[in-house]
Homo-oligomer: A and B are copies of this chain.
């Protein structure tokens, strides 16, 4: 009734729909005067080309999907920030999907995106120990995929990671150098590529310093804060570790809380270092030593790779592997004496 579309606008101006279309598409084949007439009339009448119609026609959505485990998380929200920056510059829209580490959700999101809804996907994965065939379908549909941070190693596609092995090695070494002998490694899900990689850095650093690896010091925590606290309480009482290497920020926080609760002093009784994107690590009590991934930069890199793939057409698959360097910042939580 009162909704405007290309036809009505054309009728209004005594032009054809193709001319309207040309005016909007910045086509060269149009008189400058008519173009302006069209655009100003469009503005008056509040007309905007319908995205879905043009997407359908052009087989291109100008939209990308970002799939992450969670968004209320410093690392991911900063990474999304980076992705957004690049995407917006290119005039792309961003769909957000949260898996909450649920592999089934990941599959369902991906399956939903086959249908041409997006021109590309950036994902931090959730189901390491599973069959990843559903991802191969994307290739068939020529929808580019870029992994960041958490990746599937068996899928051959572009990846942006950080130098997790090296920084884990150094972080562990840092604890050892500061006097720790019984270092617990806290992890949420051992099967994640990230968790494995970081753990390897940990174990290799132990070996390099002639400290024997103890299986009981690998602590499998939970995504649930309270459960994790229970687990840690147990560990601190039973095993009395003198060092903690937290493979994700959330576990460092749980450690702080448990220590506060149990009157365990950091760093006197126990030293801690953690992967973390917390901007205020320095303001914690005590200030937290961190391994900080360049989250924003990783987002930017991932987006750049995705657009490279999108723009490369179908000619060649983009499978670049970008590794960003994390920064280790020693603070009070791991200080000796």
Residue positions of A touching B, CB distance < 8 A: 2-3, 46, 48-53, 55-56, 61, 63, 70-74, 77-78, 80-81, 84, 88, 93-98, 111-112, 114-117, 137, 140-141, 253, 256-257, 260, 278-280, 282-287
Contact = CB atoms under 8 A, between A and B. Distances in A.
Contact of A52 (B49, B55, B97): B55
A109 B282 CA distance: 37
Contacts of A88: 98
24 contacts: A46-B114, A46-B140, A46-B141, A48-B115, A50-B56, A51-B115, A51-B116, A52-B52, A52-B55, A53-B56, A63-B95, A72-B74, A73-B77, A80-B96, A84-B96, A93-B95, A94-B96, A96-B96, A256-B280, A256-B283, A257-B283, A260-B282, A283-B284, A284-B284
Counted per complex, copies of this chain come to 2
Contact of A115 (B49, B72, B112): B49
Q: Which of A49, A93, A94 neighbours the largest number of chain B CB atoms within 10 Å of its CB?
A: A93
Contact of A50 (B72, B116, B260, B287): B116
Given A56-B53, A81-B71, A286 B285 contact: yes
Contacts of A112: 48
B116 A52 contact: yes
Given A52-B52, A72-B77, A117-B52, A46 B285 contact: no
A93 B65 CA distance: 10
- Lowest 4 A-B CB distances belong to which pairs? A285-B285, A48-B115, A52-B55, A52-B56
A201 to B, nearest CB: 26
Nearest to A249: B280
Q: Which of A56, A78, A112 neighbours the largest number of chain B CB atoms within 10 Å of its CB?
A: A56
A116 to B, nearest CB: 5
Contacts of A95: 63, 93-96
Given A71-B71, A77-B77, A95-B96, 6 more contacts: A70-B81, A71-B81, A88-B98, A253-B283, A256-B283, A280-B284
